[in-house]
Chain A
């Protein structure tokens, strides 16, 4: 757990001389360090490149305050801090003991008495925190250090004071999905009772070796946290009751910290904490107490001078320094202070301003019109356009954004991207109605994000079923996939929103796995509704076409497909366009092949990859997509013959999952260097805006392209 300093770690931080690395996260690095008087501490240093961010500085200050509040008995005693230093730092005691996560992973579940003692100690610690009006908000097994004297809660990176203005960005989900409270997962206030929920989950993990909501993708986890019953399998029966109460969905049903500590401690007096720990844990604690006194490993030597850049391209964003920092962080997993949570999330912010790009590019990249801080969900992060403004999934809410200023205007508690859709003027959402007995379609008010009165109530369908999906809304008709209340069969249905009633239904297979978001998308072209389904781990898209008038299935087929499932369907009156091994046009009339582009083409260095053509975009009868790593190719939508191929692009890795955005002068496409603008007349790139974005949304009416990075969304002019 002690690893060598890297060559560009500073010699000193404040009054401390650095000895070794203990851990690293996105936001800072934790070092073992010593004063001139020989006091040895853990010092957490904010990354230099983040130190200019005033919000992060404020967060750092808050972290230091929270660490002081919990004190040395239930946390790491704070020795000193300087949040106003050029690189802010926080020095705490070096905690002797492994993180609970390592304890359970290495030695398996703890026995009942250890879980009780652990829980009682943590409940006391949380109580101390809550009495000082601080909420931890990210309690999890890697943030609890198991020492011989008791558990210590560390890493207050996202704690906040009750009533304090939130330092998190609008809608930025913070916390760790596996141990989030349902209210946190829903983007609501996570108060003291939320910490109790997290503690319950943590104790289930300690007692059984698994979290109460399993593992897997964050989106799945968030879903289960909110809707699924916790899995208490493996928890000793004596603890099931009390831990189950901690995990109640309603915060009001959870015990307070005092009550919880008493319930866990049982009637008898508490034994010394070390007595209940297994031998292996005691040995690890003792080992760590010795290790910190050993001679630290020598500082790593600087790397040799940089090799000549490959293919003449040097990335503007990733410096050697940063790569080394990442490597250093990777070596010290489990070191305790510093990992996880917001530390990791905040770390990968790419070059913040415009400009840059390859030297040969003739035009300066435009500046951002605005930036909206928000967390992009893992999938389905498209910006929705309405007549009144923008709406975008941000973390676990839907956030309204003013398209002129980029300011957040409202948040709707609607985390599930598959349950909303827009027809270009309004945002529609599928909601539970009548206490889950019915399903309703309603609008989201563009001014304040409130849900409107149901436009249609579907009493035959189970409102509480979270896989119900709103595919699209076209001409006052909503197309929905939903589960019937009786019998549990799934149906595709068309709902007349003006009359408020179902038009037709057609049986379909259950979408996806239980507790996982469905991966359906749908679109209407003329008289046809196209539904596309992508199941995880299966390299096929299942396409079906139904008549809009009566729902009758016209045809269906499976299409081999190796890329990320398409987020939206690209179709015109004639064809559906898909980019994969080839760029193909599928006839909507019967599913036959309209044309295939790329069967005989030389795609250069990308030959042999299973996916050569990127997700397409359609504009004015031309299909645009990436071809290998050669650039954007423009193909006639009717005939499939090539119009042109981008010129002079080399040394970039093109993003095949995100369709390009086509403007009047430029086509915009993402690659590993950023957002590239390709001139439609010269057919060569004119500028690159550095970004690691993975969502592009075109707003032709307002002349904007919206670019979504992991933690920020910004607007560029669409020319």
Chain B
């Protein structure tokens, strides 16, 4: 049963199995309404403090996932201050029911952006998003940080560029040595062959996942036919999706290919609003307007 009627893109009413409260927050809506067939590594909600003052985006482990392993990754995310990563502001809950929350801002998970756009994104939008993500991964690599959760649903488009959520989703799914394909919270289409087999979650796997995200943005699938990929991206995406980790390009190289001539350090800064297709901006606006207008009912306050 839907407890909350919502109009618009990327948000969906709550269902019976959704929690009505998460910590001090009252849940208002599901973030991932329009994800389609894509696996979403976490359950994500728009929620609000009972006094109405704070509106947040809250994440929970996926149904069936190990809450303990998820909470370890959430703590890791909370300690990181990494440009281009979604900042985790607050951790809460119990060992059996962990969650993390951050102040709300209008976001569109990449599958929702494609739904809003009406299909794969135009090549220049894919390039701009991809360059920002590649730069984010390149600067993380310098610090030895491996995101380990890159997939379409973990990329949130915002007015100021894409942000990576679902930190450590692959690590959380199973310890090293355990095959990960098909586990809850893992988007198999983005899982590098070595990670699917239970190998280490390392830097080359990030580039594979990035290639899958680019393929998804440009075609609508993470594992497209080569011919489906726009010609300008074909060689790069194929290289990222190489089965051999050593054959995949470095993130900095992906960045240079996607944004020729762009200065490194400018894409993921998030200081200025970025160019987005009109329909994506319309969906972001619609979501923001919807959340502005939402009101907690008197009985939950």
Contact = CB atoms under 8 A, between A and B. Distances in A.
Interface in B268-284: 272-279, 281-282, 284
B159 A283 contact: yes
A292 interface: yes
Interface string A264-306: 0000000011111101001111110110110000000000000
A286 B289 contact: no
- Taking chain A's interface residues, is the majority helix, strand, or loop, or is none over half, making it mixed? mixed
A38 B105 contact: no
Contacts of A290: 105-106, 158-160, 288
B244 interface: no
Given A38-B55, A96-B289, A149 B273 contact: no
B301 A36 contact: yes
A257 interface: no
Given A274-B281, A287-B273, A290-B160, A37 B286 contact: no
A93 B278 contact: no
Nearest to B48: A38
A148 B278 contact: yes
Contacts of A276: 278
B122 to A, nearest CB: 11
Contacts of B160: 290
B104 interface: yes
Contacts of B295: 35, 37-39
A277 B279 CA distance: 10
Nearest to A32: B292
B288 A36 contact: no
A40 interface: yes
Contacts of B282: 148-149, 272-274
Contacts of B277: 275
Given A34-B52, A37-B301, A38-B296, A286 B276 contact: yes
Contacts of A96: 285, 288-289
Given A37-B52, A38-B52, A285 B281 contact: yes
A275 B277 CA distance: 7
A544 interface: no
A469 interface: no
Given A38-B294, A40-B292, A283 B275 contact: yes
Contacts of B288: 96, 289-290, 292-293
Contact of A283 (B48, B273, B292, B293): B273
A147 interface: yes
B74 to A, nearest CB: 22
B275 A279 contact: yes
A611 B294 CA distance: 61
Nearest to A276: B278
A94 interface: yes
Nearest to A95: B289
A149 B285 contact: yes
B293 A39 contact: yes
A289 B278 contact: no
Contacts of A41: 292
Interface in B45-85: 48-49, 51-53, 55
B274 A147 contact: no
B16 interface: no
A91 B282 CA distance: 23
Nearest to A271: B278
B278 A282 contact: yes
| Residue from B273, B276, B295, B301 having most chain A Cβ neighbours under 10 A | B273
A284 B51 contact: no
Contact of A38 (B53, B274, B275, B278): B53
Contact of B159 (A38, A273, A289): A289
B103 A282 contact: no
| Residue from B160, B288, B297 having most chain A Cβ neighbours under 10 A | B288
Contact of B278 (A37, A40, A79, A274): A274
Contacts of B158: 286, 290
B281 A282 contact: yes
Interface string A18-40: 00000000000000001111111
Contacts of A285: 281, 285
Interface string B228-265: 00000000000000000000000000000000000000
B285 A289 contact: yes
Given A36-B51, A290-B288, A293-B288, 11 more contacts: A38-B48, A38-B49, A93-B289, A148-B282, A148-B286, A277-B278, A286-B273, A286-B281, A289-B289, A290-B106, A292-B288
Q: Which 9 A-B pairs have the closest CB atoms?
A: A274-B278, A286-B159, A38-B52, A37-B295, A148-B282, A283-B273, A289-B288, A37-B296, A274-B282
12 contacts: A37-B296, A38-B48, A149-B282, A273-B282, A277-B278, A279-B275, A283-B272, A283-B274, A286-B273, A286-B285, A293-B105, A293-B106
